[in-house]
């Protein structure tokens, strides 16, 4: 098997922002229902993409998406569409003002996704790259008051 540069392989890591705040306000089962609702928005948008994909919940607040044969731009657009649905839901549910349990982090909740494209190097760790991207976005959000 060899890598085909004309055949995109992508991985997106997702993480729930302010899981502690959700758990403290809604209990763990209530937070789980919110996570399922938010993940459903992304699942709906990913299902519309042509190509092979697998979207799954990896753990309590971690999600992963693997895509083969789908362009970076199309996956990113699907994430953007789902994000708008998420923002509307979080606002309507009053969760946009949810206090963060970590100092310096913004209020609210939602899913944070970071998308990476496989570069053909068998030593590339897509999951680790995506997780590092998530952490960077969380720190950047905290620095910007989000």
List Cα–Cα distances, 89 to 39, 64, 110, 114, 120, in angstroms: 12, 21, 10, 21, 38
> For the chain, what is the mean pLDDT?
87
Domain limits for position 41 = 9-143
Residue length of the chain: 146
Band (pLDDT 50/70/90 cuts) for residue 45 is very high
**Residue 29 resides in a domain:** yes
Average pLDDT over residues 30-52: 94
pLDDT digits (tens, 9 = 90+) for 49-86: 999 999 999 888 899 999 999 999 999 999 999 999 99
**Residue 2 resides in a domain:** no
Decide if 144 contacts 46 (C-beta within 8 A).
no
The CATH code of the domain that includes 102 is 3.30.70.270
Q: Is the dihedral of CA 78, 44, 50, 62 positive or negative?
A: positive
**Residue 3 resides in a domain:** no
**Residue 117 resides in a domain:** yes
**Residue 89 resides in a domain:** yes
Number of domains into which the chain is organized: 1
Pairing of strands 52-57, 9-17: unpaired
pLDDT of residue 140: 75
**Residue 129 resides in a domain:** yes
Decide if 41 contacts 82 (C-beta within 8 A).
yes
> Which residues partner with 62 through β-bridges?
15
**Residue 4 resides in a domain:** no
């Amino acid at each position: 098997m060899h890598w085909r540069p004309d055949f995109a392989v992508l991985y997106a890591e997702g993480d729930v922002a302010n899981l502690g705040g959700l758990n403290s306000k809604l209990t763990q089962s209530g937070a789980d229902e919110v996570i399922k609702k938010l993940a459903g928005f992304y699942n709906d948008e990913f299902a519309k993409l042509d190509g092979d994909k697998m979207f799954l919940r990896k753990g309590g607040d971690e999600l992963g998406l693997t895509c083969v044969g789908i362009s970076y731009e199309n996956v990113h657009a699907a994430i953007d569409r789902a994000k708008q649905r998420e923002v509307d839901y979080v606002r309507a549910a009053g969760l946009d003002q949810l206090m963060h349990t970590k100092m310096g982090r913004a209020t609210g909740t939602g899913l944070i996704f970071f998308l990476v494209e496989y570069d053909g190097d068998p030593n590339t760790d897509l999951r680790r790259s995506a997780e590092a991207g998530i952490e960077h976005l969380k720190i950047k959000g905290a620095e910007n008051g989000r």
